[in-house]
Structure 1
């Protein structure tokens, strides 16, 4: 039996259900209309299950089943489950990008929890933006909650080759465009690369963000590593339901879990996994919702001191998330990383992080490396600054060819994705491997929504000459499953007049990853003259959500949150009046 710090009368749901007045009569009569009896709610906490399932969300296709396991767990522990559907944010199908709607999901999550008679929540997510969106909203609301990760899909397979979602898609697409594989072979890859429900099984954004949720202390120990199709996932779902009820009685609210130590742990674990570049934006946003002013320089500092020890694609060379689970999963990685973590941080389990990893073991030390035998000597991501990115840009050094970590070459600039496509599809374009291919006006406002256009495909003109990497730069994002010498998140973005807007064809771009610099070889006087001549582009939206987005979205280095949703934006929203 959990140690109760609350009585039934102190629960939020009791404000709706318990009083002997006309308003509560209305609540009770309407819940009885649905077949419930007083025994279902009297003396019980109400647990919201925020479910991001939809008919067009392949990563969450199993959530229609898993929600029943969550309900079972809630009922077992004496709670009343209510399922509340939310935006599914299907990464593959939502256009122009799910990033445009991450904050909408965060707002929906916060307001669903505030407006309903609920005492705690289970958040069901996993596909890229669902994890940060759900967490951001739930943190702002402040009720006890636990996060249920969707889990990675099973390994892909084609013709005896193990395939990783995203990563191998990009690789084989380059070969298809280069003419080295046939249409039939390409269709074989297409049919074999995603063969079960669950999110990407590479260390892309989805696996990165669920690992971060676990490192923050927001999941049950080991939950983020379980493959979606494994029966352990069903048991974990039921356990989430039981634990959510206990957390309500214990009054275990997110402010006790999301501390500065927890955020530092999450950054450290992310770097050690070879995380997605998207992690930077989402980590900053989640931390700031908890009132912790995480900065780009904090991420770079921690990254410099944290080796990559998860040998999982795309940073690693051979393995996928299923292998990672069999090798011991995130608990084992954190056990290897323990000397760099604050193991006293509290988690949703009611125990410390250290207690949660105490019995963890590594079963394959090539998949989960020791600190003295890393995949890469320092963290997955590096933050660059200079006259092209005064507020920062991001690169994934371990995933690009070593010869491009220090590079200087002439810029070839595209002002839109259509212009970029014309360049990359021109087999006779006179570019060289030294060229720095640039896409701009694809940031938070310019995209709009900062789409994943930063994984700029290799141009055909270089592919046919045998090249498979080059320096590419944009104010966009890229898929966490991507790889290559891609400079991303250039801030401020070009659309709002950042220096990227002033770059011209032929200007020399200088990249120096070891020294964390990104510059254009253009004098300050010339830059000032170009700025004076620059004209802002036309607004992307004239009505609706897009107008609100454009007016309030912050830059990539600030987490791309809405300015009015930050902790410091205003006083805490009061509890709703129910009379």
Structure 2
């Protein structure tokens, strides 16, 4: 046995000569594995989140075969294992509801099995952060292989983007400008292949952001799902994970404070989704890296939008990859990043982007000549959001970035659905729509319902955007002047719970302020009369979620999951 393999976790399972060792080896041999596979080879777990219930991830089983090929080529022993899969195209109330559960499952599967390193096959929005969080909690060598975006959409001769154009087409249908049969026809044109959303939604954002952290081989997350290079990148990841195991490079050695700051800055440059904040805050909590929502603001504010991708711009993810992708964008950012941060490749960010270049300046800009000067993401504070709120300013209407208007309040999503298109709704273009009780505990799971529909009364007046705010989230593919993750949430008595119809609300992006213009005396009176709504969760994971989820400014993780538990299997109770 070489020094490189003497400390492998899997040796605890396979090197023993008692009945337990016999038991472990014989059952793997029942699948046809040769005895050489147990003789000092790193055992590489390939975590597969493929599922036909999650179309974004449905092709990952094929990628697992390419990872296995790479592992074998490098002298490792690949073992593919399934986990639950979570997606936002079918799952209710939201994939976020189950992110922590997925991370817990991965954590326990790694800890309980003879796995020396792991390749994480991710895709839809919450799968990448869930897997990263689970791997962080065990702290083994890990590489992320992302599903990649689907082909660009096309409908009646024009390019359409996942999610982003759904909202535009739907509003056109609601206002009568698009026939209902044409709206239905657009479904096939929008989603033309496997893979994640082809816009800069949460899935593509998290793939790129975790790559910017150094957790994927640089330049691979943005490869389209159906591109042959996706398979070869999976094979290279399989080779590389064996090297990481042999060198003892754990995931925590990559995910440093510098790596998180790079991730935040890249998220701003690509115009990433607002969900990135809760994922990075949760992931930092697992690593024990000090990171707050104020750090997200500090690192985002100097960065301008460099990726001209929907919903912030005109192009799609396939165009971004063809234009040079993340390596070109990160090289353009230059000293705005920590170029000495290490990656899973064994090289620094600076080394990896050295030869990158921008092939299409219409798609990838430079810091000196950005597409938009507004920050892609901003953190707001004020008496309405004392612990913070989020807005994607690059997807908002410029005329609403400094705005004062009267509140139109919806107490729940059911209340909104019942009244939003009523001709009797007292609303105008200056109104501020406020949706309560879609936060982490109240719905629960903070669903992506924050991009409140523009009332039909306003659509009929050719008003397509108004200021909207809630304690929930919205899809990374969505657009509009939408303030999200208002914290504390309604259900626990945050100031948003006290907002009433007609209250004056002021938003100022430049000052990062969100203010409710109601006197402290009146707010105190309302608080004295406020009563929390009854949250029914009698059993199972839903009850666990409600009782233990943290607020958005702490990443929506569970209070008992922060920090890591390690992965030493030498004790019978490895906790």
TM-score, normalised on structure 1? Answer: 0.97
Separation in 2, partners of 1:229, 1:576: 42
8 Å CA contact 2:140–2:567 kept in 1: the answer is no
Residues 152 and 538 of structure 1: CA distance in aligned 2, closer, same or farther (over 3 Å): same
Separation in 1, partners of 2:336, 2:380: 24
Unaligned runs of 5+ in 2: none
- Aligned mate of 2:474, from 449, 453, 478: 478
Counterpart for residue 173 of structure 1 = 170
Q: CA offsets, 1:236-288, max 9 Å, x none?
A: 01111111111110111112111111110110000000110111111111122
Residues 14 and 576 of structure 1: CA distance in aligned 2, closer, same or farther (over 3 Å): closer
8 Å CA contact 1:469–1:485 kept in 2: the answer is yes
8 Å CA contact 2:308–2:315 kept in 1: the answer is yes
Separation in 1, partners of 2:517, 2:570: 56
SS of corresponding position for 2:380: strand
How far is 1:68 from its partner?
Answer: 0.8
Tell me the C-alpha RMSD between the 2 structures. Answer: 1.4
Separation in 2, partners of 1:243, 1:388: 48
- Aligned mate of 1:84, from 81, 84, 109: 81
Counterpart for residue 523 of structure 2 = 527
Counterpart for residue 448 of structure 1 = 444
SS of corresponding position for 1:59: helix
Separation in 2, partners of 1:453, 1:376: 26
Residues 410 and 349 of structure 1: CA distance in aligned 2, closer, same or farther (over 3 Å): same
SS of corresponding position for 2:32: coil
Separation in 2, partners of 1:574, 1:552: 27
**Which runs of at least 4 in structure 1 moved beyond 2 Å after TM superposition?**
4-9, 427-430, 571-579
8 Å CA contact 1:199–1:206 kept in 2: the answer is yes
Separation in 1, partners of 2:335, 2:517: 42
Asked if 1:334 is matched to 2:330, the reply is yes
How far is 1:35 from its partner?
Answer: 2.0
- Aligned mate of 1:547, from 530, 543, 549: 543
Of 265-274 and 17-26, deviating more is 17-26
Separation in 2, partners of 1:199, 1:146: 19
SS of corresponding position for 2:145: strand
Separation in 2, partners of 1:366, 1:262: 28
Separation in 1, partners of 2:488, 2:2: 47
Separation in 2, partners of 1:483, 1:563: 31
Counterpart for residue 514 of structure 1 = 510
Separation in 1, partners of 2:429, 2:374: 27
How far is 1:102 from its partner?
Answer: 0.3
Counterpart for residue 352 of structure 2 = 356
Separation in 2, partners of 1:517, 1:303: 16
8 Å CA contact 1:110–1:140 kept in 2: the answer is yes
Q: CA offsets, 1:475-500, max 9 Å, x none?
A: 00000000001110000000011010
TM-score, normalised on structure 2? Answer: 0.98
Counterpart for residue 26 of structure 1 = 23
Counterpart for residue 575 of structure 1 = 569
Separation in 2, partners of 1:422, 1:437: 14
How far is 1:573 from its partner?
Answer: 6.8
Separation in 1, partners of 2:466, 2:492: 27
Residues 344 and 385 of structure 1: CA distance in aligned 2, closer, same or farther (over 3 Å): same
